[in-house]
Amino acid sequence: MISLLIVSHCHEIAEGVKELAAQMAQGELRIGAVGGIVDEMGKPILGTDATQILAALEELWTPDGVLILVDLGSAVLSTEMALELLPEEKRAGCLISNAPLVEGAVVAAVEASFGRSLVEVNRAAEEACQFPKVPREEM
C-alpha cells in the first residue's frame, strides 16, 4: 500500500490535513506531515525544509510508493531537493502531486486505503480540483 506525505509551509496546516486524511482512511495507511521550520531562536515559523522532508520520505517509503501533496511553490522545490537525496530506487517510487492540498489529501487517503496504485491515487487526487464545492447556475 502506498503512503502519503503532506508538505506545508505551516506545521499546523500539515498536521491538520494529515489528521483529516487519516480519519477518512480509517487508519488504513501511513501518512506523514512536514510543515514549517524553526528559526535560530527556536521559534516555529513558516517555511519548508528539505532535510525534514527527506527524513519523512525515508520513514514512509514503501515499494508501492509515496504520494507527496504540497501547498505552495517552494514546498515543491524543497521536496524536489529531498528527492534528489534519496537513492534512485526509492526516488522512482515517489511522486509529487498537483492535487489541491486538502481535497487531494482526503481523496488520496480514501483511494490509497482501497489499495489503489500510486498512479491511480494521484489521478484521483488531482481530479479533486475539479469538484465544485458550491453548485452555481450559469451567470
Task: Report yes or no on 53 lying in a domain.
Answer: yes
9 among known catalytic residues: yes
pTM above 0.85, yes or no: yes
**CATH label of the domain that carries residue 52:** 3.40.50.510
> What's the domain count of the chain?
1
Beta strands in 9-111 (DSSP E): 31-35, 37-38, 44-45, 66-70, 94-96
Structural domain for 48, as ranges: 3-130
Beta bridge partners of 69: 6
Of these residues, 4, 5, 8, 9, which one is catalytic?
9
Q: What is the pLDDT of residues 96-133, one digit of tens each?
A: 999 999 999 999 999 999 999 999 999 999 999 887 88
Burial track 27-38 (b if 16+ CB lie within 10 A, e otherwise): eebbbbbbbbbe
